[in-house]
Structure formats: structure tokens, C-alpha cells
């Protein structure tokens, strides 16, 4: 894998953070906050939960940064921490999340705001709905692969699963997503 200018800049920031540079930490957080928040939102399916998860993750990242031996591994290490925090949140709140989802779905189905949305917006909505119905593990691999442009090896590292598991989840997620979208368009 070739290193980009951004990769090298992140490594430098990590090294500076490990030396106690507060400004470097602020820069690192500013650079990575949006990416980690997107991952958390995709894994939890809820913006508020994603904010809480990322806040917890940053506490763990800041506490553990001094122990990160290879600054080049920051990306996967940070993603892994967020993924683990999301898994914890999902385990703790699955009942609460299910109830909230049912309420949201009921509100959406009864709302009639009369707006005319374009086909493109409808397509995006259908895709989001189909993604939301996937199991968490499948939604995670699809998001990391297509939205964060990670390869199978990288996803395996982030999620802490074998590469074969990632390949299997990607395969099944694509099929389920395709089936769900075909059912909606029929």
C-alpha cells in the first residue's frame, strides 16, 4: 500500500501527540472527527448515539495514543476503537434502539408533507432504508468498503475478524441489499 501525503501527515501528528503537543492533538481530532463520526453513525444508525460513541472513542484514543507503537497504524487503530465502542453500544441498547426505530418508522409512514422529491432523492432514501435493515455486521463491511474505500484486509483489522469473514459478509450484504432494492422497485 502506498502512503499518501495525508498518511504521512497523520503519522507526524501522532508522533507529536505522543510527545505531548496539544496543538497536534487538536489538529488530529479535527482531521479525524468527521471520519470517525461517519463510521459510528453507519454502525449505530443513530446520530445521537454516534456522537456519544465517538466521544467515548476519543477518550480511549487519547488515553491510548502513547501506547500506539506504529503511528502508521493510527487509522486502523482509531477505526477499531470506534467499531468496538459501537458494538458495546449496540449490545447495551438493542432493545432501546429497536423501540426508537419502530417509533421513527411509524412517524415516517404517517407523515404526509406533500413534498415532491426527485427520483434521485427517492433512490437515496431507498438505499438508506435497505442499508438500515441489514444486520450490523453486514452494514459495517459495506460502509467500510464502499464509503471509506477500505480493502478486505483493512476491514478485517478494523473489525477484528478474519479476512474470509469480511469476504463472506460483503457477499451476503450485497445480495441482501440487491434483494431489498429489487423488492422496493417492483
Average pLDDT over residues 104-114: 46
- pLDDT surpassing 80 at residue 103: no
CATH value of 119-186 in 3.40.50.10860, 3.20.20.70, 1.10.10.10, 1.10.3720.10: 1.10.10.10
C-alpha distances in Å from residue 34, one per residue of 41, 121, 153: 10, 23, 23
Domain limits of the chain?
1-112, 119-186
CATH number of 1-112: 1.10.1740.10
Residue whose C-alpha cell is 427517492? 122
Q: CB neighbours (10 Å) of residue 21?
A: 14
Q: Which triple of cell numbers denotes residue 181? A: 432494492
Banded pLDDT at 183 (limits 50, 70, 90): confident
Compute, in degrees rounded to 10, the torsion defined by CA atoms 99, 83, 174, 121.
60
Amino acid at each position: 500500500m502506498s502512503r499518501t501525503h495525508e498518511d504521512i501527515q497523520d503519522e507526524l501528528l501522532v508522533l507529536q501527540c505522543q510527545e505531548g503537543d496539544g496543538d497536534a492533538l487538536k489538529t488530529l481530532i479535527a482531521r479525524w472527527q468527521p471520519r470517525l463520526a461517519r463510521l459510528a453513525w453507519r454502525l449505530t444508525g443513530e446520530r445521537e448515539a454516534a456522537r456519544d460513541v465517538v466521544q467515548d472513542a476519543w477518550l480511549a484514543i487519547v488515553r491510548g495514543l502513547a501506547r500506539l507503537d506504529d503511528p502508521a497504524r493510527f487509522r486502523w487503530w482509531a477505526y477499531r476503537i470506534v467499531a468496538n465502542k459501537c458494538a458495546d453500544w449496540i449490545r447495551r441498547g438493542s432493545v432501546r434502539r429497536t423501540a426508537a426505530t419502530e417509533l421513527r418508522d411509524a412517524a415516517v409512514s404517517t407523515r404526509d408533507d406533500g413534498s415532491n422529491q426527485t427520483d434521485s432523492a427517492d433512490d437515496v432514501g431507498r438505499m438508506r432504508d435497505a442499508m438500515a435493515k441489514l444486520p450490523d455486521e453486514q452494514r459495517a463491511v459495506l460502509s467500510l468498503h464502499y464509503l471509506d474505500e477500505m480493502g478486505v484486509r483493512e476491514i478485517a483489522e478494523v473489525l477484528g475478524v478474519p479476512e474470509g469473514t469480511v469476504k463472506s459478509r460483503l457477499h451476503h450484504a450485497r445480495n441482501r441489499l440487491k434483494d431489498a432494492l429489487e423488492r422496493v422497485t417492483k
